[in-house]
Every structure is written in structure tokens, then in C-alpha cells.
Amino acid sequence: MRREEWLREKNEACAQRHELAVDRLRSLISEETVASRYRAFFQDTAIFLLELENVRRKVADGMWESYTLEQKQSLNEILYSDILGKNYEASYGNPAFACRKLGRDMGQLLSLLYAEMRSGIAFCFAERTDYLTILYELFIEVYNCFEEKEEPETKEIRDIIYWYASDYCDVFLEERIREQIDPELSFAAEIIEHADLDTDDYLYRFGEYITENELGTARHLRSLSEETIQKMADVYTEGYRIGFVNTGKDLSKKSSVNIRYSLGFERVIRAAVENFRKMGLKPVIYRAATSVITKREHHRIGYYGAVPNRQYDYDHRQDQALFMDKRYVERKLEVMKTTYEQNRILAAGMGGPAVMEIFGEHPFSPETKEEAPSYSETQRELSLFYDSRSGQITNEYIRGDERSFTIVAYPVPEIGEKYPEIFDEVIRINTLDAKLYERVQQTMIDALDQGDYVHILGSGDNETDLKVKLITLKDPQKETIFENCVADVNIPVGEVFTSPVLEGTSGVLHVSRVYLEELEYRNLKLTFEDGKITDYTCSNFEDEAENRKYIYDNILKNHETLPLGEFAIGTNTTAYVAARKYGIEDKMPILIAEKTGPHFAVGDTCYSWSEDIRVYNPNGKEIMAKDNSVSLLRKEDVSKAYFNCHTDITIPYEELEEISVVTKEGKNIILIKNGRFALPGTEVLNEPLG
């Protein structure tokens, strides 16, 4: 049989399966064959799935393109309305509501099922009928189980979901990996490059939730000159290119770049795509994962629109706990390894991510729900094993010593009425004079290189009292401890950083308020002994056990401890003053916030997976502090060397009494005193402070 005939027959069979599933969904809406307790769940979910099918057909037959902006907005609202605002309180997507209505065990499982059905929104707009068919059939299989038995055992439902995740792992996960390395699979790139960006309509074609943030961002960018847009794109792409140059990596070996951003910035992204093409790089732009099989807890990695409900994402972050076991984890790793092996050339061509972050959204402090699934201790170990092994597999095919990255951030309209003014200020911050900072930061590094350790002391209510041990240089004329970071991979300019020696690094790190990965922490306090966290707390919740679990889940990432992978001093006082001027300190992203005070990263070092590459500062000195006693374990057992996380925590200048370098001879060199730079040659950094 010729391939064309085989493909035709396959497509016809898929279409037939799809139509049968849709017909079944239509019929079950009016049926009363399941117990009354569960009827509303199945009927409501079936209605939602039929709405997905309605949208899919409109996209497929071209009717979508003829819709007015108001019609597109209305459909967008309908698809997401169930989990928005107060609606979430009575949504089956809410585990608390589902458990209250359906019983705890069954409620958790059916809430997971409901969330998985919601992942189908993306497939409507990408015209992935095959994926929608899989979702419809999963739902119908669970429904049939309730038809056959008035009250099925939770094990039966759990098994159905387990085998769905296991059997379709080689479909969903395989495609997910290919989306991350293959420019030909970039649904979003087609929209970005060819849509009419002078209208709002194009935003709804992605299938993501759209709010005034995305609309307002796109409209604001339309008001900017071509020159300004090009400048924004140039800062972004040049930072990426320079990242390869500064680390001695060969960009010419690469054929693709992964662009991650939030909707609304298409005008800049279009210009950036053209810049990357001139470097020989094709864009890989994939959607943030939504399926339980492929997503990483509540984190959105890829492109995305507005987050409809952060609590919903948080509630479902550990849904895998309802079915994950060792066999499933091994299955995922097997699929991952096979997929990379089959696509090793594409993987080797991936240069790494170019990330455009946003900030300005209202801070989110989650509610911890006991009905939300959470990992058992065994599952936590499995999750850590998966993270470690998957990181090793990825590094085998997209080598850390050959890839780079860049990150830049811009505000969204939710930041306040002075949004246009703040946006302009951020453009200025992102394009500050790198040469000035390079010179001043080198002065600071010259002092730091004399040190045995750095002492950081908080002021007032800040309880920070931390000693950070530094490596000893063998040849100070040719070697250095700290990297002089200007505007390359981390935009904007403004920090010097190192990998501390763990042994001898001890004390308390405290910050009154900080936002890490979009989660708020109040009075976060970490205690270190020999560079590793030994105790931790915060004041988010009245129950201390909840505070500890919050940190354990979201900062320690389920590890019993993490090392201090980075110590840095931020020097961007311009950004600090801008944040104070507009009252947006609590909304600044860590990318900018880390430049506005000393910061400490727990987890891997900044050089993870590329420690053996020789790196030099602009003055020609080689940076020697790229390892610590944990990362060095890679030479014996790589699974013990990396944690696959790196979380920066910044202390603002106003909470500092002093940062000083203490030499082996006991000399005390003061760098910062009472929130001001005190080292001769760095006073220019105080000018923005007034």
C-alpha cells in the first residue's frame, strides 16, 4: 500500500473515531443513566467539550476568520468562564468544590479529569482533532464506568486515568519534546509572522485567555515607533548572541532558538524573529503545557496569554499524585530518551531559550487546600528522580556546554495607570550604559577578590546575618572569583556574582517580603550551615506547618535541603529608584529585582552543566568559582550534582546595614553601608538614590 493511501485511510479512521465520540457526547447530555450525585458533573463537562468542538469546527472551516472582534471575545470568555473569579467556587475544576459534591477520593479524580478536559482548549485552535478525540474518549470511558456501576470504585477510575497517561505518553510527551526543538511545529510562529498586528483580532487566534493586559500591551506597542520596537528587539537578541560570545560557545553550530513570551508582545517578537534569522536561527515557539502528562506543576514554560485563575493552577499542580508510580515515571523517561534519540540532529541544533518575561500583575498568595492532591513521600522521591534523570537526558542531546540563553522583562497594563510611563522607564533601564557598569563593577570585584568571605548584615527588623565563603585564588593576576555581569544573558545590567564555597558559608538570610515565581513570601527566613539550608520559615500562614510546606514545595522543590548556588550583589540603583518612584517594588520581576540588592540563589550554580567551559571577564581574568562541593559530584554520580532549580532571593538596599569583604588577614573592606555603596570608585551608583 502506498504511503498516500495509508495516510488517507488513517485520517479517515481518525475522523470516524472523532465523530463517534462527538455523537456520544451529544447523547449523554440528556441521559439519566448515572447516579444523580454525579450527573451534573458529567453533563456540565460534556457541554464544555461540545463547546470545544463547536470552536474547533469554526476554526477548521474558516468561519472563525469572519467573526467580529466582539464575537471572538465572547467565545474566549465562554471557554474560560467556569474558572474565573467567583465562578471558581462552584466549579468542578476546584478540588474543594468537587470533593464537597462528589466525595473526597472521587472528587479529586473527577476534578483532575475536568482539568484535563480543559487542556483541550489549545487543541481547538491548533486544529489538533486527534488530541481532542483522545480527550473525548477518556471522558466517555470514565462515564461508561459510572453507567455500569452506580458507585464505581475509585481504583477503577484511577486506573483509567493512569492508563490514559501511560498509553498516551508517547503521543503527548513525544510531541511536546518535538515542539521544543523543531521549528516546523511552531503554530505560534505562523501567527506572529503573518497576522495583522494592527488589530486586536489576532490575539484570540492563539486560543489563550485574553484580558486587558494582552490587549493593552499590544495597543501600547502599536503606539511606539519602529525605531523603539527595533531597539527592544535588538537588546533581546543581541543579549542572546553575546551570551554565546562571552562563554566561548559556537553559535554557528546552532539552527534554532526557543522564544518564550507572553501574548501582546508580537510586534517585538516579529522583529526579534528577523534578527535571529540573520544569525541563522529559526524560531521555536511552543505553548505552555496544560496536560497533566506534560506540564511542570503550576509553572508556565513557553508562550501563554493571561492566567485565568492562579489558584486553579496551584490547586492542580500535583495532580499526578493521584496516579503516579515508578512504572509511570520510567515510562515517561523511556519516551523522552527515545524521542530525543530519534530527533538528535534537531536537538543538537537548539541554541537555548530567549525569554521575554512580564511583570506588574497583582501579587498572588495561594490558599493551601487540603483537598488538592499532593505527593506522598514516595512520590516526592519519584518526582525528584524524574527531574534529575530528565535533566540528564536533555543535557545529553541539548548540551549545556553548547547552549546559552537570555532573559528580559517588561511591564503589563495591570501595573497601574502610569503604565506607559513605567514601560518607557523599563526600556531605559534595559538599555543602560553597560560600559559604565562594567567599570564600576570591576572595582567592586577587585575588592571581593581579596576576600576570604563576605559578611551580609541586615538593618532594623531584617535579621540577615550571613557569612558567604569565597574560593582562594591561586593566581590573582590572571584569575577572579566574581563574574562581571553586564547586559547579555540577564538583562538589564547590574550585578557581580559567584558560586560560593559551601563549607564555611553559614548564617541567616531574611527578607520581609519577596515574590518568587509569582508566589508571595512574607518574612521568609532561611538558615544555612556549610552552605546548605538547615531550617526555613515564613509568615504567610498562621499554621507553621503550612509555612514550612509552602517553602518545601515551592523553594526547596521537594528536596530536604538545597545548597547556596549563587551569591551576587546587584548594582542597578536606577531600577531600584524606579521601583520606589512608582511604588512597584512588590511587582518587580526577579530578573530586575536581583539587580537591586544582594541576592542569593538556592539550588544549582549559574554554571550548571557547563562548569568546565573556561569563562573570562572583560578584563581578561578567568572566572574560577564555577563549582561547589555538590556540583563536583557530577564527576562521580551526575544524579547527585544537580537539583534542576535555581531560585534567586533578593534583599532590598533599604534592609541592609552592611556588606563587607573580610580578608584572610582580617581586614574589613566595606562595600555597602546603610543601603549606600561605600567602596571608593563605586559612588556613582549612589547618584540615582539621591
474 pLDDT higher than 80: yes
d(CA 74, CA 597): 45
Mean pLDDT of 535-548: 96
d(CA 77, CA 432): 40
Count other C-beta atoms under 10 Å from residue 411's C-beta: 27
Element (H, E) at 672: strand 668-673
Query: What does the pLDDT read at residue 2?
Result: 52
- Domain positions in the chain: 3-167, 178-192+209-406, 432-689
DSSP letter, residue 153: -
Mean pLDDT of 606-619: 90
Picking from 178, 57, 173, the residue whose alpha carbon sits closest to that of residue 125 is: 57
Q: How many residues does the chain have?
A: 690
Rg (CA), the chain: 26
Cβ-proximal residues to 379 (8 Å cutoff; 6+ apart), any chain: 320, 321, 324
Query: What does the pLDDT read at residue 591?
Result: 79
Percentage of the chain lying above the pLDDT 70 cut: 98
How far is Cα of residue 13 from the mean position of the Cα atoms in its chain?
38
Grid coordinates given for 385: 528522580
HSE (CB half, 13 Å, CA atoms) of 53?
Answer: 20
E strands within 475-538? 479-480, 483-485, 495-498, 501-516, 519-529, 532-537
Mean pLDDT of 101-123: 97
Task: Give 310's pLDDT tier (boundaries 50, 70, 90).
Answer: very high
5 pLDDT higher than 90: no
653 pLDDT higher than 70: yes
Mean pLDDT of 193-218: 97
Query: What does the pLDDT read at residue 350?
Result: 98
Picking from 485, 511, 503, the residue whose alpha carbon sits closest to that of residue 600 is: 511
d(CA 451, CA 446): 10
Picking from 653, 676, 648, 357, the residue whose alpha carbon sits closest to that of residue 491 is: 357
Mean pLDDT of 254-278: 98
Local structure of 177: helix, strand or coil: helix
Lowest mean pLDDT among 5-19, 180-194, 658-672: 5-19
Grid coordinates given for 301: 514554560
pLDDT in tens, 327-343: 999 999 999 999 999 99
d(CA 607, CA 566): 10
d(CA 446, CA 481): 9
Across all residues in the chain, what is the average pLDDT?
A: 94
CA dihedral of residues 95, 372, 390, 402 (deg, nearest 10): 80
Residue at grid coordinates 540588592:
597
d(CA 375, CA 379): 5
> What are 609's strand-pairing partners?
none
Grid coordinates given for 576: 531600584
Amino acid in position 569: I
d(CA 388, CA 193): 36
- In angstroms, the Cα distances linking 410 to 55, 58, 130, 362, 593 are 32, 34, 37, 15, 13
Query: What does the pLDDT read at residue 527?
Result: 98
DSSP letter, residue 613: S
CA dihedral of residues 356, 340, 613, 623 (deg, nearest 10): 40
- Sheet containing strand 532-537, edge to edge, reads 532-537, 519-529, 501-516, 465-469, 451-458, 656-663, 668-673, 676-677
Grid coordinates given for 215: 490587549
Count other C-beta atoms under 10 Å from residue 81's C-beta: 12
* Region for residue 456 given its phi and psi (left: phi exceeds 0; alpha: psi -120 to 50; beta: otherwise): beta
- In angstroms, the Cα distances linking 435 to 253, 478, 509 are 29, 21, 32
Classify residue 420 as exposed, middle or buried by CB count within 10 Å of its CB (0-12, 13-18, 19+): middle
d(CA 148, CA 488): 61
Instruction: Look at the alpha carbons of 93, 209, 408, 525 in this order and tell me if their dihedral is positive or negative.
Output: negative
Local structure of 455: helix, strand or coil: strand
How wide is the angle at C-alpha 75 spanned by C-alphas 72 and 77, nearest 5°? 110
Mean pLDDT of 58-70: 94
Task: Give 225's pLDDT tier (boundaries 50, 70, 90).
Answer: very high
Element (H, E) at 176: helix 169-179
Contact between residue 504 and residue 467 where contact means Cβ atoms under 8 Å apart:
yes
CA dihedral of residues 605, 609, 611, 617 (deg, nearest 10): -70
d(CA 217, CA 205): 16
d(CA 596, CA 579): 10
pLDDT in tens, 422-465: 999 999 999 888 889 999 999 999 999 999 999 999 999 999 99
Mean pLDDT of 142-159: 94
β-pairing, 479-480 vs 622-623, is: parallel
d(CA 69, CA 219): 15
DSSP letter, residue 416: -
Query: What does the pLDDT read at residue 487?
Result: 67
- What percent helix, strand, coil does the chain show, rounded to 5? 50, 20, 30
Picking from 391, 245, 312, the residue whose alpha carbon sits closest to that of residue 91 is: 312
d(CA 24, CA 404): 49
Task: Read off the pTM.
Answer: 0.89
Asked if omega into 363 is within 30° of 0 (cis), the reply is no
**Between 104-118 and 36-60, two packed helices, what is the crossing angle to 10 degrees?**
10
Query: What does the pLDDT read at residue 1?
Result: 45
How wide is the angle at C-alpha 522 spanned by C-alphas 517 and 525, nearest 5°? 90
d(CA 132, CA 61): 17
Percentage of the chain lying above the pLDDT 90 cut: 86
Q: What is the DSSP string of 50-112?
A: HHHHHHHHHHHTTHHHHS-HHHHHHHHHHHHGGGSGGGGGG-TTSHHHHHHHH-HHHHHHHHH
Contact between residue 247 and residue 483 where contact means Cβ atoms under 8 Å apart:
no
